[in-house]
């Protein structure tokens, strides 16, 4: 059972990182606590165990931790969605704008196919830019279905990351703060 208060108590807030005025939510404190990590992976498993997930896509780099653990538990493969130049074979790319400029994400061209049911996982939803790029990239492979998940969704005025996605995109978050 997900104890949201317990997770929030173990989430570290880092003021003025990476720039003044930003209150960075550091999930590494959730990952290093075995009870928090187990609780999050188990909750996500319960949410997705009957969805037929065949691939979990983790967004670099914090999305790799829980994404890979969840893939193992679901009996699915794990796909890395990385920054440019980090994957050794042929890739597909998608660029996006973020608060501090432009960025790009890549996935190997043989990572996903049209028979897959994909869950894209990342640690945090703020503006939605990186996840929207990852989602658009995954859609290029034409999977049967795509789900999106975050550990944390920031509900701070002006961010509204959910607005980056159509209403028919199935998205879950464990914590809204």
55-59 vs 117-125, strand pairing mode: parallel
**CB of 81 closer than 8 Å to CB of 105:** yes
- List all residues 6 or more positions away from 173 whose beta carbon is below 8 Å from its beta carbon: 125, 149, 150, 151, 152, 153
Q: Give the residue from 76, 89, 12 showing the smallest Cα distance to 44.
A: 76
To the query of whether residue 99 is one of the catalytic residues in this protein, the response is yes
- Choice among 62, 94, 106, 153 that is catalytic: 62
To the query of whether residue 94 is one of the catalytic residues in this protein, the response is no
**CB of 81 closer than 8 Å to CB of 60:** yes
- Choice among 12, 38, 46, 99 that is catalytic: 99
Active site residues: 62, 99
């Amino acid at each position: 059972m997900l104890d949201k208060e317990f997770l929030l108590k173990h989430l570290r807030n880092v003021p003025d990182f990476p720039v003044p005025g930003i209150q960075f939510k550091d999930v590494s404190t959730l990952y290093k606590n075995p009870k928090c990590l187990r609780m999050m992976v188990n909750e996500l498993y319960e949410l997705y165990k009957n969805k037929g997930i065949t691939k979990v896509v983790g967004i670099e780099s914090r999305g790799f931790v829980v994404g890979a653990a969840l893939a193992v538990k679901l009996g699915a493969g794990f796909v890395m969605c990385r920054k440019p130049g980090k994957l050794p074979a042929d890739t597909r790319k998608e660029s996006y704008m973020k608060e501090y400029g432009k960025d790009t994400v890549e996935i190997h061209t043989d990572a996903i196919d049209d028979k897959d049911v994909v869950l894209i996982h990342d640690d945090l939803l703020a503006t939605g830019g990186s996840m929207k790029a990852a989602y658009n990239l995954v859609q290029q492979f034409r999977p049967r279905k795509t789900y999106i998940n975050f550990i944390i969704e920031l509900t701070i005025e002006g961010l509204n990351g959910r607005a980056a996605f159509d209403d028919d995109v199935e998205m879950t978050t464990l914590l809204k703060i």
